[in-house]
Amino acid sequence: DAGVIQSPRHEVTEMGQEVTLRCKPISGHDYLFWYRQTMMRGLELLIYFNNNVPIDDSGMPEDRFSAKMPNASFSTLKIQPSEPRDSAVYFCASRSGLDQETQYFGPGTRLLVL
Amino acid sequence: DQQVKQNSPSLSVQEGRISILNCDYTNSMFDYFLWYKKYPAEGPTFLISISSIKDKNEDGRFTVFLNKSAKHLSLHIVPSQPGDSAVYFCAASGGLSGTYKYIFGTGTRLKVLA
């Protein structure tokens, strides 16, 4: 398996623009997670899905952030409008629901909002 | 409010010596703890875990110790190798957060000197 795939790997945009980050989880995994990494707060969970349904979005910072999972093999995280403080590395992770399983992370998308 | 804290942002250790990374948590309901390792430009990868019913788990050079009364866990790497240089995140799950939601610390950057 190719692992969790994220695109783009790097994104530079201007304040006010819409940003869409994409994730393809590992095939067969029924949980998908979106994280944001910053120096100050480390790895923060933004939202997670189970069987394509959002379960907990309490970590989504503002209404400017939205996430969707239209099917088992694709998810998006959208920021509209983007702000400089959104600059961070965004990770997607997936796992199966089996006991003792862990989360597998993608390589991340480094976002810079100017 | 950080429920999982890694108070040392960085640590340097000589090759061959022991590396000890520490992590504290505040939520006594957490029942599963993990360590992830992250290299630059890559996603975190799972390293080792421990359930709250144990106080020690060992995997090769890596051992995790859990002190529930102190709400403290530590990761020991013996002997340390230059390839261990990375950022280490501890994470916890359980209680009201549920099994699938990991709460991560801010990370400790380990540098192993050759």
Q: For A58-100, how does the pLDDT look when each residue is reduced to its tens digit (9 = 90+)? A: 999 889 999 999 999 999 999 999 999 999 999 999 999 886 6
Res B20 pLDDT > 70: yes
Section B29-55 average pLDDT? 95
SS3 B98: coil
Kindly determine whether residue B101 and residue A48, on different chains, have CB atoms separated by under 8 Å: yes
Kindly determine whether residue A42 and residue B100, on different chains, have CB atoms separated by under 8 Å: no
H or E stretch at B66: strand B62-67
Per-residue pLDDT at A97: 82
Per-residue pLDDT at B74: 98
Res A40 pLDDT > 90: no
Which of B5, B89, B100 is the mutation pick for testing A, counting most A CBs within 10 A? B100
- Strand order in A65-71's β-sheet? A5-7, A19-24, A74-79, A65-71
| Residue B98 vs residue B19, higher pLDDT | B19
